[in-house]
A and B are shown apart, each in its own frame.
Chain A
Amino acid sequence: MSENLPPLARLLGLVERHFLKALAAGAALALGAGFAIDMHAKAPLESFGGFYALAGFVSLSTVLIVARLLRALLGRQEDYYGRSAVNAEQYPADQLEVRDREP
């Protein structure tokens, strides 16, 4: 379906479509550079050229795995604190200007 989108949105769409390829190239470049230059290591393991790549990958993976467990453990219904709690209520419409883009 083609939509009449603003030029900036079309550009963002293009970025979204090619993001993974750019990511792969950037990651490979950064990893290669890590082995090519002196990383001025201060911390243990920091001298390994791919240390930060490993740290980034492991950290994000850890966050995602622990977060799943956390939701299983601490997740409750939206109205757990009552139907009138902020989490369960809608934002007052009279304080907003909800509007769709004009075609």
Chain B
Amino acid sequence: MSPDTLPALSALSALPTAFLFLPGALLAAVLPARLRPPLLVGLPALAAWQVWTLPEGRLMPLALMGLELELMRVDRLSRIFALIFTLIAVLGNLYAWHLRDRVQQVAALVYAGAAIGAVFAGDLITLFLWWEGTAIASVFLIWARRTEGAFHTGMRYLVVQVLSGVLLLAGAALYWRETGSLDFTLMRLGSPATWLIFLAFGIKAAFPLLHNWLQDAYPAATVTGTVILSAFTTKLAIYALARGFAGTEILIWIGAVMTVFPVFFAEVENDMRRVLAYSLNNQLGFMVVGIGIGSEMALNGTAAHAFAHILYKALLFMSVGAVLYRTGTARATELGGLYRTMPLTAILAVIGAVSISGVPLFSGFVTKSMVLSAASDAHLWPVWGALVFASAAVLSHSGIKIPYFIFFAHDSGRRPAEAPRHMLLAMGLTAAMCIAIGLAPGLLYALLPYPVEYHPYSGYHVVGQMQLLLFGVVAFALAMRFGLHPGEKRGTLLDSDWLYRRAAPAVLGAAAALVRAIWGAGAAAVGALRAAAMGFIRARSGPEGRLAHVWPTGSMVEWLAIILGVMLVVVYLA
């Protein structure tokens, strides 16, 4: 069906996609509870149709206060990101069908709309406005947990996200001054303007040491909120990097570090939603490496991997969320053996796990391998080695740990009911897409920014990947057998958030104490001096001082007589 067939749908193409979501959010704010879930699923589905049918080009230029803005720059790169954003909004909101929390429902629509608006932004100002829109809308998915901990986590998250936006705005202003243009296109890293913009993107992309807002915030959100959060912010940053900094070499190394360091944290983390947040960080690394390499193959790999990743990561967050929803906990130490009563959720989680691990016939295999191939084509052997290591390591936490410690391993004795039907439906559809991409990668490849000449299902590739994964599982099984696995343990792992949650307050507290001490000593010294001066003055001029004495009239006459007598003697002698 083309847009010309129905006038109402045709009119849709004249509206920026994000502007579908904002009136929808307003409507959600006033609709009765039972009508909101259909709106939350239907509206993104409508948007997906619009994104699919939009022609390419700069569709909505806007002159505002002398600035040339572009609300809808549609090309193959923006379309694939917008498309997956709309699809995941459908699936995420279907998963949240039971929800009656108006705050979360409105926030979910605004957040999705803002992310899609940012993807279609053709200039830096439009990008900034939607960029901040994602920050402000998404924090409500954390605050909606309505606990003190979630409130503080949300505040930290908001500060970091808004800081990213402020840096983007500052960079955009400098860029405009430098080049006379606000066009959001490929930039060369070098000037303060481009560094600021790069840093802004890097915060949202969770670059190393700028990453911990992600692991801090995502496990703090609501069951359904985390699913929504996992899709948009970081992948928007990946899109922005691909658009603005493709081929920037430093990204290769940043991405390589991103693939490696989170895997160790994920291995010992107890909160399964935080495990997935670390895993998300690791997957972003593959995409960042692809952007840094910048070849057509690498950028295709990044876009494809972002698409597949959004699906399987959402599926994993959904399955852990379903367990949390039914048991009240996502801690590995309190779970185990749940396949007995949640077999469907277990199977769906396994599909997410094998997809992220890159098992042939599932989505991760046909997308991640494009980035690895791009790295080997470019003879970047240390980076390629890091990616191979990270590919095996992903298996450890997302491929094995998530399904094994929740659904298998030791029997926790819990017998929760299966996940609600709408959750199973959302997970089933997401899993079906993971399998469809794995079985027919051409469907996804056809949407990529550049023509694809890549065949993932070569014999050597399949065999190599199966060796990597199966022997990884062998290592895991042996570690479990001989008690070498770190096991699950309750606790908190220190990460870079320690710097602003503990170190910075401690340093500021010490500085404040020092200033207080100096101020106190100074004030005491001044007080002592003042007291001494007052004592001196009081001694002289106070009520008891000599100068304040009341002299009797008789003594005056006496002194007058003495003076006159002295004068008489002086005159007589003179």
Contact = CB atoms under 8 A, between A and B. Distances in A.
Interface residues of B, number: 83
Contact of A57 (B264, B267, B325, B472): B472
Interface string A10-42: 011100100010011011001101100111101
Nearest to B270: A78
Interface string A51-83: 111111111111111111011001111111100
Interface string B244-278: 00000000000000000001110110010000000
B491 interface: yes
A92 B147 contact: yes
Contacts of B492: 75-81, 85, 87
A56 B420 contact: no
Contact of B479 (A44, A52, A64): A64
A76 B491 contact: yes
A21 B137 CA distance: 50
A93 to B, nearest CB: 6
Q: Which of A6, A62, A95 lies at the interface centre, i.e. has the most chain B CB atoms within 10 A of its CB?
A: A95
Q: Looking at chain B's contact residues, is the secondary structure mostly helix, strand, loop, or mixed?
A: helix
A20 B471 contact: no
Contacts of A66: 264
A13 B339 contact: yes
Contacts of B343: 6, 8-9, 11-12
A60 B392 contact: yes
A43 B341 contact: no
A101 B475 contact: no
B544 interface: no
B326 A98 contact: yes
Interface residues of A, number: 73
A80 B376 CA distance: 43
Task: Pick from B265, B474, B490 the residue with the most CB of A within 10 Å.
Answer: B474
Contacts, number: 243
B486 A71 contact: yes
Contacts of B414: 100
B141 interface: no
Given A85-B149, A89-B147, A52 B465 contact: yes
B417 A101 contact: yes
B318 to A, nearest CB: 15
Given A59-B392, A98-B326, A9 B493 contact: no
Contact of B392 (A31, A56, A90): A56
B428 to A, nearest CB: 13
A63 B467 contact: no
Nearest to B389: A59
A53 B325 contact: no
Contacts of B417: 99-102
A56 B468 contact: yes
Contacts of A77: 491-492
Contacts of B493: 70-71, 74-76
B271 to A, nearest CB: 7
Interface of A: 3, 5-6, 8-9, 11-13, 16, 20, 23-24, 26-27, 30-31, 33-34, 37-40, 42-44, 46, 50-68, 70-71, 74-81, 84-93, 95-102
